[in-house]
Amino acid sequence: MPRRQNLFALWTQVGRMHDVSRALREVFAGVAAAVMLLAFASTASAANAGDITLNGTRMLTGEKSTVTTTKLPNGAKRLKYEIGPFKIIPGQNEIGYTPITAKPQVDGYITRMRPDLVYMNGKVPRVDVVHLHHGVWVNLSRQNTTNNLPELFFAAGEEKTIFQLPKGYGYHYKATDNWLFNHMLHNLTPVPTMVKMIYEIDFVPDSSPAAQKMKPARPIWMDVESGKIYPVFNVKKNSGKNNLFTYPDDDPDAYPAGTRQRNAWTVDRDGVLLATAGHLHPGGLHTDLWLERQGAKVRAAKCGRAKTAKAAKKCRLSSPRGRGDKVHLFRSKAKYFEPAGAVSWDVAMSATRPDWKVALKKGDVLTTTATYGTKRGAWWESMGIMVAYMAEASDAKGHNPYKKRVDLPGKPTHGHLNENRNHGGKKTNLPDARKLRDGTLNPGNVDILGFNYRLGDLRLPGLGGRPPVIKQGQSLTFVNQDNPQRIYHSITSCKAPCTKSTGIAYPIADGPVQFESGTIGTDPPITTAGANTWTTPKNLKPGTYTYFCRIHPFMRGAFRVKQ
């Protein structure tokens, strides 16, 4: 398809425009994205067997998708659909797009969505084997309220948040809408596999009596990197204040001068926020939603007249929280089931309770932030998203958040998931690189080929397994020779000896000296560094440095710097 190639060429150019200002590049990226999504829109309805991806050739999806129906007491039906299957090749870690053809045949309201990822036999893959980096449900027939992308109305990462609207509200769906699934599925092993995406929706058809009482809600997509195709940011170890890093507040370069404040949205008309839940990556602690209203003032807690200490506490707890015209609406908290703490995907995000409802006025400004803990490690390519839903002012009553506290604790949307059981961190036979004899002296390049670092790979025998040595002030250049297979790697510092078993909580980017290559690969440049090589910093002090691959965490290596 020539059209796709052109599109791809455009995309590639966008990635290579290093000499053009970042702002301009983003404009180009936005245009490329819009063009691409429009192209998909025109083909989506015709495609039963969707095999459209960014690269055109990678992810084959099948023709059949089954649906199961369960009747719910309130007149809704619980429908289960499949997207895929997806063939994911070893080490795959790319963004793909697939038309969603398995969806309701009639118009109606969606009141709840639950995602899952399964093998062909229905079993849920272990998260340390096949990993759902993200899946986003896109309605190409509408536009996002908060940015120039098509309407994003549901998303799932490995935390698999279940989304539910308060009773009486639904996302109004039209059978003629074209849906697209934007996914990043990650195969952490060198073995190809097949998976399907499952999504379960509670659906009230327009023809049912229950639909007469339903009111529509629209998605408000809040994202700290709103509008970007790959909306990620990096969190460095020990960054922020007291090992807490909040994006964008703690990153002065988050939104360079002349660019848009991506985490903000100016409310376009009066309405009521109905629900919200956050999306984070490992290391993330919470996402927050804030409101600013010109001329408004957070009502101060006047608890001095309370008769008892208990009454005073109750008074304080019911008072709105914020300062001046900025009030806190909700904190979506990451509840980690992970025994090692906030370092893995073994987590559930909290969502608002049904009575949360918040009245908004036209001209209000909503903002979102994402907070990560930085004591344990760096968190490269992190996300901070809050998906909210809003009803028209005529269809709902909401609380005034300046007068009444609305940011009460939410509820995790699910418990511990079985697929998150392999935490890693156990003893292995890998050698401690600090005790190994010197390897090759000043080799210049270190190839990465076939999931091995060819010099200094802790899993290799002989010379290949010994750390290559450079002199202080010199550097090593890693070359990804797996790039032609579209397999990408990273060189990410990890605390020595970095030899424990691989799992969802190990290894992490916890090297005392931080270095990070980014995802080295050339294509597509949206999710990679756009370069095939990476050179170590020249200012490293003498010592043995251990590292791993973020994409394939079983890959471990070391190099040595000498005086």
Which residues contact Cu ion by CB under 5 A?
A: 489, 549, 551-552, 555
Q: Which two tokens stand for residue 10?
A: 């455009």
Strand, helix or coil for residue 303:
coil
Residue 487 CB, shortest distance to Cu ion, in Å, is 7
Choose between 489 and 560: whose C-beta lies nearer to Cu ion. 489
CB 369, CB 240: distance < 8 Å: no
Residue 31 CB, shortest distance to Cu ion, in Å, is 32
Q: Find residue 336's DSSP bridge partners.
A: 347
Choose between 90 and 216: whose C-beta lies nearer to Cu ion. 90
Residue 509 CB, shortest distance to Cu ion, in Å, is 14
Largest CA distance in the chain: 80
Choose between 450 and 473: whose C-beta lies nearer to Cu ion. 450
Residue 547 CB, shortest distance to Cu ion, in Å, is 11
Choose between 140 and 551: whose C-beta lies nearer to Cu ion. 551
Residue 346 CB, shortest distance to Cu ion, in Å, is 22
Choose between 356 and 547: whose C-beta lies nearer to Cu ion. 547
Choose between 152 and 555: whose C-beta lies nearer to Cu ion. 555
CB 165, CB 219: distance < 8 Å: no
Strand, helix or coil for residue 393:
helix
Choose between 52 and 551: whose C-beta lies nearer to Cu ion. 551
Residue 405 CB, shortest distance to Cu ion, in Å, is 47
Q: How far apart are CA 517 and CA 536, in angstroms?
A: 8
Choose between 385 and 555: whose C-beta lies nearer to Cu ion. 555
Choose between 215 and 550: whose C-beta lies nearer to Cu ion. 550
Measured in whole angstroms, the distance separating CA 27 from the mean position of its chain's CA atoms is 22
Q: How far apart are CA 206 and CA 213, in angstroms?
A: 10
Choose between 56 and 450: whose C-beta lies nearer to Cu ion. 450
Measured in whole angstroms, the distance separating CA 541 from the mean position of its chain's CA atoms is 35
Q: How far apart are CA 465 and CA 443, in angstroms?
A: 14
Residue 95 CB, shortest distance to Cu ion, in Å, is 17
Residue 191 CB, shortest distance to Cu ion, in Å, is 14
CB 70, CB 78: distance < 8 Å: yes
Choose between 390 and 504: whose C-beta lies nearer to Cu ion. 504
Q: How far apart are CA 515 and CA 332, in angstroms?
A: 31
Residue 451 CB, shortest distance to Cu ion, in Å, is 6
CB 135, CB 197: distance < 8 Å: yes
N- to C-terminal Cα separation, the chain: 55
Choose between 240 and 557: whose C-beta lies nearer to Cu ion. 557
Residue 501 CB, shortest distance to Cu ion, in Å, is 17
> What does DSSP say about strands 215-223 and 169-173: parallel, antiparallel, or unpaired?
parallel
Q: Find residue 172's DSSP bridge partners.
A: 109
Q: How far apart are CA 455 and CA 442, in angstroms?
A: 11
Alpha helices, DSSP H only, in 359-496?
none
Residue 548 CB, shortest distance to Cu ion, in Å, is 9
CB 136, CB 155: distance < 8 Å: yes
Q: How many residues does the chain have?
A: 563
Q: How far apart are CA 491 and CA 503, in angstroms?
A: 18
CB 523, CB 486: distance < 8 Å: yes
Residue 491 CB, shortest distance to Cu ion, in Å, is 9
Q: Find residue 100's DSSP bridge partners.
A: 179
CB 396, CB 168: distance < 8 Å: no
Phi-psi region of 110 (alpha: psi -120 to 50; beta: other; left: phi over 0): beta
